[in-house]
């Protein structure tokens, strides 16, 4: 169990960091301009969320392709399982990617993520052409999952770094949720148009092109978009610790074994799992539920998915704004 002294120190640190009146560069023109540039970068960086969160738009189409004439069941639920695998993969690699960002930098991480995600979209398209469901598992479940989270995390870090300069960390996080949800809300209509214009495989190719242009191409021609403020660089982790703790050298750090033996770790892990489960469950089964339960047509399925994801986006923005207006303390105090 973590010592009471350590918990008390962390609580004090949170209050100092979140309630300090000495926020750097508050409301300066340069920081505001950079924040606007960050919003543009965030819109581009959240483009993979279109297929990541809006994957449900493919479910019924993929069922008809791989299991023609069949209704949904556990046996033929592969298309749905693929979406869940993508999220699982991204969550599994997230701790490793978060640490590598300090070494690679945000722009390089976004570029690498773009390459991986585009390869995933190509594999998804080939799975349709070759009629190989296992390629869809690899393409979306592995490549899009890893590539998408690399881009998204880069955007989140960038947003938090810049908006912290004007004391609006919550807004930075909320804007990430807003743009992620808006991309996903629009994606069913994008997919519908791509499938009608080209084909199912064409929709995956088109998604890869969108990600490549909005993230990869703009990262090359507009590198300054991914620059973080010099006073708060991600690579200089020690400086932020010194601002809060005074001297980080004596900070208490948990080993992996201590973390896994701490009840608080499992308490928050289980709580977070239960909180997120319904939302992700609905995100990946909206089309299936609307068709199987309500016998809805495609336009109604698109509308239902769009409304849910739009509310999801606005809720995350609202929570971010709300967090900026209250002093946050650790709940276990």
For residue 256, being part of any structural domain is answered with no
For residue 289, being part of any structural domain is answered with no
pLDDT the model gives residue 117: 95
What Rg value do the Cα atoms of the chain yield, rounded? Answer: 21
For residue 332, being part of any structural domain is answered with no
For residue 244, being part of any structural domain is answered with no
pTM here is 0.78
Burial of 327 (0-12, 13-18, 19+ CB in 10 A): exposed
For residue 74, being part of any structural domain is answered with yes
What is the count of structural domains for the chain?
1
pLDDT the model gives residue 30: 60
CATH code of the domain covering residue 319 = 1.20.1250.20
For residue 268, being part of any structural domain is answered with no
User: Which structural domain range is residue 59 located in?
Assistant: 28-236+306-324
What span, in angstroms and rounded, lies between the C-alpha atoms of 132 and 255?
43
pLDDT the model gives residue 210: 93
For residue 10, being part of any structural domain is answered with no
User: How would you write the pLDDT of the chain (333 residues) with one tens digit per residue?
Assistant: 444 443 444 444 443 343 433 344 444 556 556 667 778 888 888 888 888 788 888 988 999 999 998 888 888 888 889 988 988 898 888 888 877 776 888 889 999 999 999 999 999 999 999 999 999 999 999 999 999 999 988 888 888 888 887 778 888 889 888 998 899 899 989 998 999 899 999 999 999 999 999 999 988 988 887 877 753 444 444 444 444 444 444 445 777 788 788 888 888 888 888 887 777 778 778 888 888 888 888 889 889 889 988 998 999 899 888 888 876 544 434
For residue 294, being part of any structural domain is answered with no
Tally of CB atoms within 10 A around 114: 28
Burial of 216 (0-12, 13-18, 19+ CB in 10 A): buried
């Amino acid at each position: 169990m973590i010592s009471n002294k350590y918990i008390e120190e962390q609580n004090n640190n949170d209050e100092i960091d979140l309630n300090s009146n000495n926020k750097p560069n508050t409301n300066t023109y340069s920081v505001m301009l950079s924040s606007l540039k960050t919003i543009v970068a965030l819109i581009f960086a959240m483009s993979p969320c279109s297929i990541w969160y809006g994957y449900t738009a493919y479910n019924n189409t993929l069922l008809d392709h791989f299991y023609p004439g069949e209704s949904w069941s556990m046996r033929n639920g592969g298309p749905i399982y693929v979406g869940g695998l993508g999220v699982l993969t991204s969550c599994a690699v997230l701790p490793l990617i978060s640490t590598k960002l300090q070494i690679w930098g945000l722009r390089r991480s976004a570029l690498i993520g773009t390459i991986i995600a585009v390869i995933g979209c190509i594999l998804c398209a080939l799975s349709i052409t070759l009629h190989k469901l296992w390629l869809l598992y690899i393409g979306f479940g592995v490549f899009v999952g890893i590539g998408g989270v690399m881009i998204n995390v880069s955007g989140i870090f960038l947003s938090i770094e810049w908006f912290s300069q004007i004391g609006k960390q919550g807004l930075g996080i909320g804007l990430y949720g807003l743009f992620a949800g808006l991309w996903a809300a629009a994606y069913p209509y994008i997919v519908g148009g791509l499938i009608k214009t080209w084909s199912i495989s064409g929709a995956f190719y088109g998604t890869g092109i969108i990600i490549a242009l909005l993230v990869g191409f703009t990262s090359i021609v507009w590198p300054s978009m991914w620059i973080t403020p010099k006073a708060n660089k991600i690579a200089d982790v020690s400086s932020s610790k010194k601002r809060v703790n005074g001297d980080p050298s004596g900070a208490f750090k948990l080993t992996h074994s201590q973390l896994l033996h701490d009840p608080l770790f499992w308490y928050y892990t289980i709580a977070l799992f239960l909180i997120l489960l319904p939302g992700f469950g609905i995100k990946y089964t909206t089309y299936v539920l609307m068709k199987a339960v309500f016998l809805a047509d495609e336009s109604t399925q698109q509308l239902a998915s769009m409304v849910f994801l739009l509310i999801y986006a606005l809720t995350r923005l609202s929570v971010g704004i709300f967090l900026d207006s209250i002093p946050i303390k650790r709940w276990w105090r």
